[in-house]
Chain A
Amino acid sequence: MSLSGVSATALSLATDVRSGTIKATEVIDAHLAAIAALDGELNAFVHVLDGAAREAAVAVDRRVEAGEDPGPLAGVPVAVKDNLCLRGAPTTCGSRILEGWSPPYSATVLERLVDAGAILVGKTNMDEFAMGSSTETSVYGPTRNPHDLSRVPGGSSGGSAAAVAAGLAPLALGSDTGGSIRQPAAFCGVVGVKPTYGTVSRFGLVAFASSLDQIGPFARNVADAALLFDVIAGHDPLDSTSLDRPLVQVGPCLADGVAGMRVGVLAELVDGVDADVAARVHEAAEALAAAGAIVEELSVPEVRYGLPAYYLIAPAEASSNLSRYDGVRYGLRVEASDVAAMNSATRAAGFGPEVKRRIMLGTYALSAGYYEAYYGQAMKVRTVIVDAFAAAYRGVDVLLGATTPTTAFPIGAKTGDPLSMYLSDVCTIPTNLAGHAAMSVPFGTGAGGLPVGVQVLAPALGELQMFRVASVLEAAAPPTPAPSPPPQGSGGGVR
């Protein structure tokens, strides 16, 4: 199998491995070769699991030879964000404070992947503790956008998005707290899904903001994203926020179309974004109308309060969650004369600037005298946003908008001004506050030929209609260009 093999879809790879047409070892070797050739430029991976991946592939091939079915992801390489615990493998969250740490247990999603026959190919780069929108705050340096190496891939799951876009893996997992799957998916020209809160177990996901975090898929097409979603979704007794109710498999319904479906183009997610991005959203709405959907424009003014509410709620939860990094049980310790001094010296040396800022912001929002005005008020505003979405969804089945206000920005453009970086999440944050589902689908290009993502939003457990809309959009979308090969890479024409 040549490097061109890495353009293969997850569905076709799994089908061919299950039928014995190709071997899982050939599939994994092709992807490991692509990683070796290209990741020096991209920096999408912080840890490649070469040995374990090859062993797992051999085991899959043995099962096929023995007449067994290894599962729906048989032999499919999956890249996973480095905030997902994998027993015995480094898990750093892009932070110095977890350098050298290997978790004593695995995340439920990773066990589900392995049970479905998938091959975990490596841990991907991310903003430190998922705090960022560009994958520039990682202690391992920035990941580069495969479409333009001078630009960011988005974040915080930028390594996963770049790996899928460049053909280093057909599938990847990320986590989305305020847009960390959808925004990098849009910037890298791939599909990214933020499932309904509670549909995918968070057990083994290193916590950032627990009421907002959700794990979800990256793929190069909607059917592959559905395949991965159907494997990872489902109740897990180890996550007390996991929804214990039957979920509908989305894969079999992708071809059902959108005839008669009611689609609202959300003004707050179109007005104010760059003109090239807004134009693609309007074209996407026209495509849905042409496919039989009933499209209307509507406004939910309350979602404008999503960003300010989020930047109180998420840091508040983070400041509490990250108190566990105290130099006592795992990770870095900087010795000092007493425990308090050791804690403070360890955290000063182990956390990067963005994590320090968010912890301080959250600590401030929760501190005596400010709690009611900041955190308390933000939680009430969250209710206002939830109610406003509920009212909108009484009239429409899904909402449509931009995923991001701009296309991918240059590396270094926003690192000096945290607020400007935060504003790049303005279109994605409201969904997290409401606990709803949303996904980004590539839809043509903007200025400079960079990918644009259109966002489909659905109410809680609305994955079925969301994926059906995404499928129609994908069929109607102008082509997304192949990533330009890295100038010094030896594997040109990755796709």
Chain B
Amino acid sequence: MTREDAAYVARLARIDLTADELDLYAGQLAAVLDHAAQVAAVDTSGVAPTAHPIPLSNVLRPDEPRGSLDRGEVLAQAPAVEDGRFRVPRIMGEAP
């Protein structure tokens, strides 16, 4: 992993990194990826991937109304709230 790769990945993951952090992590992650690349040595032709150890599918429940979290209790944990909703900084380039 190059420093440029690290910067690209940090941007995808939405983490601001300093120049020093980029240098440090690029080197450390390259060493881990070198080790992880051992998986390439396994012949997996015709092998299906396992995403989950215990295959369960279509776990259903009756579609009945029931209680949910209290809105006030949830919003009390938010960094910023307005009119009963989460408040965030502007999303678009200009204020509405």
Give me the interface of A with B, judged by CB distance under 8 Å.
101-102, 104-105, 196-198, 211-212, 237, 240-241, 243, 302, 305, 307-309, 311-312, 319, 323, 326-333, 335-345, 347-348, 351, 353, 356-357, 359-361, 363-365, 367, 373-374, 376-384, 386, 417-419, 422, 433-436, 460
**Distance A365 CA – B90 CA, assembled complex (angstroms):** 31
Alpha-carbon distance between A104 and B69 when the two chains are bound, in angstroms: 7
Chain B interface residue bracket vs A: 35 or more
Q: Are B89 and A335 in contact (CB under 8 A)?
A: yes
The answer on a CB contact under 8 Å between B12 and A367 is yes
A248 to B32, CA, bound (A): 41
B-side contacts of A342, CB under 8 Å: 88-89
Tell me whether B19 is interfacial, beta carbon within 8 Å. Answer: no
| B77 close to A360 (CB less than 8 A) | no
Contact at B15–A351, with CB atoms within 8 Å? yes
Q: Is the CB of B77 within 8 A of A380?
A: no
Taking a contact as CB atoms under 8 Å apart, the answer to whether B77 and A101 are in contact is yes
Task: Evaluate contact between B78 and A379: CB separation under 8 angstroms.
Answer: no
Q: Mark B56-96, 1 if CB is under 8 A from A, else 0.
A: 10010100000001100110011110000010111100000
Residue ID in chain B nearest A383 by CB atoms? B50
B48→A383 contact, CB < 8 A: yes
Would you call A328 and B79 a contact (CB within 8 A)?
A: yes
Do A328 and B42 touch across chains, with their CB atoms under 8 A apart? no
Residues of A within 8 A of B14 (CB): 323, 326, 340, 343-344, 347
User: Binding site of A, secondary structure by majority: helix, strand, loop or mixed?
Assistant: helix
Q: Which residues of A contact B40 (CB under 8 A)?
A: 373, 377
Q: Is the CB of A328 within 8 A of B86?
A: yes
Give the distance to chain A from B90, nearest Cβ to Cβ, in Å. Answer: 5
A347 and B77 contact, CB distance less than 8 A: no
Closest beta carbon of chain A to B56's beta carbon, Å: 6
CA gap between A417 and B62 in the complex, in Å: 50
A11 to B74, CA, bound (A): 38
Residue numbers in B under 8 Å from A105 (CB-CB): 69
Given the known interface contacts A104-B70, A328-B88, A384-B44, the answer about A211 and B35 at a Cβ–Cβ threshold of 8 Å is: no
Residue among A102, A197, A319, A376 making CB contact with B77, cutoff 8 Å: A102
Docked pose: A462 CA to B5 CA in angstroms: 44
Using CB atoms, name the residue of chain B closest to A347. B15
A344 to B14, CA, bound (A): 4
Closest to B17 in A: A348
A-side contacts of B39, CB under 8 Å: 305, 308-309, 312, 374, 377-378, 381
Closest beta carbon of chain A to B55's beta carbon, Å: 10
Contact A211 B51 (CB under 8 A): yes
* B42 near A197: Cβ-Cβ < 8 Å: no
B15-54 contact mask (Cβ, 8 Å, vs A): 1 or 0: 1110001000100110111011111111010011111111
The residue in chain A whose Cβ has the minimal distance to the Cβ of B52 is: A211
**B32: contacting residue among A237, A311, A381, CB under 8 A:** A311
Tell me, rounded to whole Å, the shortest Cβ–Cβ distance linking B91 to chain A: 5
In whole angstroms, how far apart are the Cα atoms of A374 and B28 in the complex? Answer: 17
Which chain B residue lies CB-closest to A333?
Answer: B79
B42: A residues at CB distance < 8 A? 302, 305, 377, 380-381, 384
